[in-house]
Structure 1
Amino acid sequence: MRVLLSTIGTRGEVQPLVALAVRLRELGEDVRLCAPPDFREWAEGLGISFAPLGPGLRSTAKPDSAMTKAMASPEGRRRMAEAMVVDQFETLPEAAEGCDAVVAGMALNIATHSVAEWKGIPYFFTAYCPITLPSLHHRPPVFTGWAPENPDAAIPSLWAEDARRWNEHWGGVLNAQRKPLGLPPVDDVRGHIFTERPWLAADPVLAPWRGPSALDVHQTGAWILPDHSPLPPELEAFLDAGEPPVYFGFGSIRAPEEIAKAMIEAARAHGRRAIVSRGWAELALIDDEPDCIAVGDVNQQALFPRVAAAVHHGGAGTTTAATRAGVPQVLVPRMFDQPYFAERVRDLGVGTAITGEPDAESLTLALAEVLRPEVAERARRVGGEVRTDGVEVAAELLLAAV
């Protein structure tokens, strides 16, 4: 069997599908990954067939990039959205050639279900956070330029408005691309993408699914990619040279200005050393003092159990990794699902969050809250409850369905 795994987004959207690809290959299945070109080298290094989809996204972490500037205006977002869907319809049919099923991760895979429908093969949608999917238990996530007209409206009204926005934003370009393929028009874009039986690749302790909902959601657990790569020698030496440091990182997203200075000052205020992850924003150290080190992409599964706390943006992947490692967390949420994970970390008692723009003072106060022994103990207990078999569950579901 050959499976196409398709996503649009940064590492947080790509890594779960890479985890599924690795597991399917272990089971003897053929896999092809369709994702932004930023991830070609990584995927092919794991032996996964790769087809690039859309433009590179690394520049979006910089405020002066052309893509970031285009996203600043409604007209710029509209043009980019239309170009993205057209590119998907041009790329995905060839990528899906010879495939027996398609798995889409991330809601902006606007064309994927249509291509599967045209090919006559099964399609499965996967969300990475519960708030992506409609439920009477939570409000819809807010996209850039997509705030509700009345944020205090009842939850059913907010989801109805969300459905209308999906149709207004994507319906025209989606149906224009479906017509040449002989496919009928779609009148419910969100329902078309999500289907009636979506999967939820999120840990049930950290991010439980809660109805009621019109959807039959199957929560598999988070899709975790096992990482056995060693930490860089210089990082190993830094960890061995003193007490556990504080980790700071914002992954693939744009980081606030002057954040590196604020992070290092906050760690020093508590007499702690600091590890600064450069990320796509290319954060750098502020001086040459030996109490700090900057790192690139490293094995979080090996690193997080050895730090005193993890300060990060609150993406699904990083939050799951830190929770699983049993490390206290400070979240600095910026967009989409990150405020949800900030709330969950607080509710579970394993950390706290900063609202608004972080500075040295707010980071120092947040670290004071999470560096307490009782928070560390609570984080260790919750970490032991995180499931690690989500990708195996998903692979079995896929094989049984196809």
Structure 2
Amino acid sequence: MSQELPPQAGADQPREALIIVASSGTGGDMQPFIALARGLAARGRRVLLLAPELQEEMARAAGLPYRLFGEREQEQAVLDNPDLWHERKGWGVLWDGLIPQLDAIRQAVQALPEDEDCMVLCHPILVPMAALARAARPDLRIVTAYLAPSNLCSRYDLLTMGSLRIPGWLPPAGAGLLWRLLHRWFNGLTLPGLNAARAQCGLPPAPHFFEHMLKTPNASVSLFPRWFAAMQPDWPRPFFEGGFLPPAAPAGPGLCAELEAFLAAGDAPIVFTPGTGHRHAAAFFDAALRALRRLGRRGVFVTPHAAQLPPALPDGVLWQAHAPFTALLPRAAALVHHGGVSTMADAMRAGIPQLIVPYGYDQFDNGQRAKRLGVAEVLPAERVSARRMERVLGRLLSGPGAGRACRELAARMEAEAEPTRALDCVEEALLGKPGRAAEKSGARPALAEG
């Protein structure tokens, strides 16, 4: 299913290139690319959103032309697999779910008229998809936007490899060796399926998955600020340094009446969420409930999947399927979450401490970067217990250090706020020249060439 592109006004005017904005995964992966797509459309760019069928509701709500890929049942099976959130097994579950969909961007490109100029903005994990589309359009411009720095595989700023903390004294050569060992395993996991799809398109095999992902795009953009992760010598070039996307305006009136009443009835609660896509976090919520009892604190549990909650919540704990964090977190005492970048940025803006409970993927590195800033502690999911959660939360809430660091970072983010920076970078990376907003202001995003 899809929503058709509207015809471009002025048939005799030059037809502007269509920007295909493609992402996959949970809400944390989809929402930033939807925000970029809407921002580009608001600047008059022609945009087609490419999203998995399971996220059709989100794609439709964006109010943009869209095209869906994949099968709902297959995507649901990926989310239902508890190994998706296992530190080592998760990548295999994720990649096995993507293999049948690798042709999605190529099919979207082939569905366009032959004279339709187009380019692709995509999530890094979809770069192999975009590369297959070049079999149909050899001049296809590809730009990837990085939500988190760990996916750039730098040897120079390696804080963690999964749950393994990397000591600061390790030289780049040592970090490079660790990456090579990890990538050897990862290549065995991904390259058979990828290269089978490439062979069907008449393309040569890719010898290295992450090199393929990093080197295929024409340009890359960071969706995080340089104080979170500074550009490194081995990041791909050209590279545009963006920043966190501004928080989305809450749809509707804001907090629901039930949540408003709960907040008004007592002390600021601690908010707990394992992420919108996590359906197997029963141990997380069980430990959270017992930690709240030990601390004598109130809590808000945020998850659309109520089956993973304890069977009966006391009066001091409220469940919400969804809640706009931009409205909720400034009224919270702390946030306990999985380490998604957007959730982390919301808590930083709100000026509250975070306990990050990473399960896999980029979450471990994100957590260590927040800890390095003094605004968070990290407790890996496999080590979660009520006692550990109580101890770390007690330290965050009672010690002066975290509170001061949170307030200082929130003030810095407000003072340095550049709401259009990330979008300016994306637009320039796509067009190879300053975008319309930058042209009007005379500003240029930071760009590094190789």
| Cα-Cα RMSD | 3.2
1:127 is aligned to 146
Question: 5 Å matches for 1:18-29?
Answer: 18-29=34-45
Given candidates 198, 206, 212, the residue that maps to 1:192 is 212
Quote how far apart the aligned CAs of 1:299 are.
Answer: 0.9
Partner AA of 1:100 in structure 2: C
- Pick closer, same or farther for the CA change 1:202–1:116 going to 2, 3 Å: farther
Given candidates 34, 38, 43, the residue that maps to 2:54 is 38
1:330 is aligned to 355
Aligned pair 1:376/2:403, yes or no? Answer: yes
1:85 is aligned to 99
Q: After superposing the two structures, state which structure 1 stretch, 80-89 or 317-326, moved more.
A: 80-89
Residues 202-253 of structure 1: CA distance to partner in whole angstroms, max 9, x if unpaired? 2323x21342315233221123452232111111111122221110011122
Given candidates 319, 322, 327, the residue that maps to 1:302 is 327
1:154 is aligned to 174
Quote how far apart the aligned CAs of 1:278 are.
Answer: 2.1
- Pick closer, same or farther for the CA change 1:128–1:79 going to 2, 3 Å: closer
1:148 is aligned to none
Structure 2: how far apart are the matches of 1:51 and 1:100? 15
Asked if the contact 2:334–2:352 (Cα under 8 Å) also holds between the matched residues in 1, the reply is: yes
Partner AA of 2:397 in structure 1: L
- Give aligned-pair identity as a percent: 24
1:103 is aligned to 121
Given candidates 209, 213, 226, the residue that maps to 2:248 is 226
Quote how far apart the aligned CAs of 1:125 are.
Answer: 1.6
Asked if the contact 2:279–2:305 (Cα under 8 Å) also holds between the matched residues in 1, the reply is: yes
Given candidates 272, 281, 286, the residue that maps to 1:248 is 272
Partner AA of 1:321 in structure 2: D
Residues 133-190 of structure 1: CA distance to partner in whole angstroms, max 9, x if unpaired? 132224497679xxxxxx9991122233444445443334333323443434433432
| Matched residues, number | 389
- Alignment partner of 1:174: what SS? helix
2:201 is aligned to 181
- Alignment partner of 1:154: what SS? helix
Question: 5 Å matches for 1:260-275?
Answer: 260-275=285-300
- Alignment partner of 2:59: what SS? helix
Structure 2: how far apart are the matches of 1:204 and 1:276? 32
Structure 1: how far apart are the matches of 2:204 and 2:404? 56
Structure 2: how far apart are the matches of 1:392 and 1:337? 22
Partner AA of 2:257 in structure 1: P
Q: Which runs of 5+ in 1 are unaligned?
A: 145-150
Structure 1: how far apart are the matches of 2:89 and 2:208? 23
Q: After superposing the two structures, state which structure 1 stretch, 118-127 or 177-186, moved more.
A: 177-186
Aligned pair 1:209/2:240, yes or no? Answer: no
- Alignment partner of 1:385: what SS? helix
- Pick closer, same or farther for the CA change 1:340–1:214 going to 2, 3 Å: closer
Aligned pair 1:392/2:423, yes or no? Answer: yes
- Alignment partner of 2:367: what SS? helix
Partner AA of 2:366 in structure 1: F
Quote how far apart the aligned CAs of 1:328 are.
Answer: 0.8
Residues 289-337 of structure 1: CA distance to partner in whole angstroms, max 9, x if unpaired? 3211100122111111110000111111211211122111111111121
Structure 1: how far apart are the matches of 2:202 and 2:303? 47
Partner AA of 2:201 in structure 1: L
Structure 2: how far apart are the matches of 1:37 and 1:245? 36
TM-score (norm 2): 0.76
2:7 is aligned to none
Structure 1: how far apart are the matches of 2:230 and 2:140? 28
Structure 1: how far apart are the matches of 2:31 and 2:60? 13
Quote how far apart the aligned CAs of 1:83 are.
Answer: 6.4
Structure 1: how far apart are the matches of 2:368 and 2:89? 33
Q: Which runs of 5+ in 2 are unaligned?
A: 1-16, 164-169, 434-450
Partner AA of 2:108 in structure 1: A
Aligned pair 1:11/2:38, yes or no? Answer: no
Quote how far apart the aligned CAs of 1:101 are.
Answer: 1.0
Asked if the contact 2:159–2:368 (Cα under 8 Å) also holds between the matched residues in 1, the reply is: no
Partner AA of 1:26 in structure 2: A
Asked if the contact 1:19–1:224 (Cα under 8 Å) also holds between the matched residues in 2, the reply is: no
Asked if the contact 1:276–1:294 (Cα under 8 Å) also holds between the matched residues in 2, the reply is: yes
Asked if the contact 1:135–1:210 (Cα under 8 Å) also holds between the matched residues in 2, the reply is: no
- Alignment partner of 2:143: what SS? strand
Question: 5 Å matches for 1:323-362?
Answer: 323-355=348-380, 356-362=382-388
TM-score (norm 1): 0.85
